[in-house]
Structure 1
């Protein structure tokens, strides 16, 4: 996160401990922990792509919320679970066990300090399930604190009007949406290449899932990028455009502004004595 004064108001790390004590003890205290990844994103996007998305979108959302709301951000976790991108230089991946332990250890300390809600704000699709598992494990040990694992792109209204249906379904990595969003947020980090994932390592029918099966969806595959693409792109980045990226940014910020606003206006979810077995 950048260091201007408005954003510092929302960063727990910029508080002194008496301020933190007062903040975390407030009714409805909520911390948002952004998660990214450190992995290849094709020849055109930087290794920090997911982390940058999580950080920038969260910044914009929190800046727009009333200062009176008790919600703050934790520092971003930039290295995540990325074994699907093994074999591409620059990719770093932690084990699932280590990340679950990290979430539990940090989360339990936050609960002990009075935090009532912890939102795991994740922008890396490859660790959605992992963070859901980590959230459940943490919640089982912290009855006083709710844990909410979220994915940046899930449930965002209007994406289907911005991104073609085929790309929305199959552009899983460094395709049209991600390349366009990076062009809007940090164009200096985007290279000139615009790959299409048609350069498959496998050929013929073996590269095409049978009916009802897919890389992701109701009947998915535990896929590895190197089996699908030489460039590292799973999708089509050829039409990437900063104007589309700005539209995607607007949709993402509006979605999460709406969700955080409604969350902070509520006493949901029930915790502590409100929980029932």
Structure 2
């Protein structure tokens, strides 16, 4: 879709796009990090790219929304014990978001959506967004996470996978089986977080891996395979259902944003 991608546009076309009321740019973020012994290291990047492409394809051509190229390498220090993981520093990503956001704002764009598919950089991109917004008040900055927002996702996942399948588990493996089945290895032999040389220690009472009282865990603390969850029941049908919910959900949110006047004008 060259017409939706800024990198395929000339500077006069970008100038014209930026001054349109409600002009919006989406920047997809992924990661290059281990996803267990059965998924490729580009898994998060693949999800961000494919879901965003599907959403953009369904938006009417006259809508003022465009996208940037995928930022494939992200912030993944929790996975650095596993070969193949590439991670940028937090400082570099903060600086990168600020610089790109500043330049988009100077081109007249009113909104920047950080469309992130990697759970390990949710909080970092929220900080980057708040910092950018403070320095560019006229630019609405919306950091979002692929799996948070669209309704119905959790209802497709059984317990305990719904809350314990944090990485390369049922949801991610099923989605990859639907999108790129030839890139998925033998999932039947892996038992997720239980496949460790010694049983992992549970977090202290009152603490959790994620949630209200999280801790800064490393994947190697709790998994020998890199999987946190259980991928054994993954299937392409579930992946298709997840994909449709993700696309429908983000399409509705993008349309809602385009219909709005966000960001609000500053109170003088």
Give the length in aligned residue pairs. 266
* TM-score scaled by length of structure 2: 0.96
Q: Offset of 1:202 from its aligned partner?
A: 4.5
Give ranges in structure 2 of 5+ residues lacking alignment: none
Matched, 1:180 2:174: yes
TM-score (norm 1): 0.93
Q: How much has 1:112 moved relative to structure 2?
A: 0.5
What's the secondary structure of 2:194's corresponding residue?
Answer: coil
Task: Return 109-118 or 183-192, whichever deviates more.
Answer: 183-192
Partner of 1:275: 266
Q: Give the equivalent residue in structure 1 for 2:117.
A: 123
Gaps of 5+ in 1: 1-6
Q: Give the Å deviation of 1:156.
A: 2.3
Q: Which stretches of structure 1, 4 residues or longer, exceed 3 Å deviation after superposition?
A: none
Cα distance in structure 2, aligned partners of 1:69 and 1:211: 50
Q: Report which stretch shifted further, 17-26 or 254-263.
A: 17-26
Q: Which residue of 1 aligns with 2:36?
A: 42
Q: How far 1:199 sits from its partner (Å)? A: 1.7
CA deviation digits over 1:219-251, x for unaligned, max 9?
A: 111111111111100000000100000000001
Residues 157-203 of structure 1 deviation map (CA, whole Å, 9 limit, x = unaligned):
11222111311101000000000000111112111234222023553
Q: Distance in 1 between matches of 2:175 and 2:182?
A: 12
Counterparts of 1:276 and 1:216, CA distance in 2: 37
- Rounded Cα–Cα distance in structure 1 between residues aligned with 2:262 and 2:137: 14
Distance 2:67 2:25 in 1: 6
Match of 1:198 in 2: 194
Instruction: Give the match's secondary structure for 1:147.
Output: strand
Moved more, 139-148 or 191-200: 191-200
Which residue of the partner structure matches residue 99 of structure 2? 105
How far off is 1:208 after superposition? 1.6
Kept in 2: contact 1:200–1:227 (CA 8 A): no
Kept after mapping to 2: 8 A contact 1:34/1:74: yes
- Quote how far apart the aligned CAs of 1:275 are: 1.4
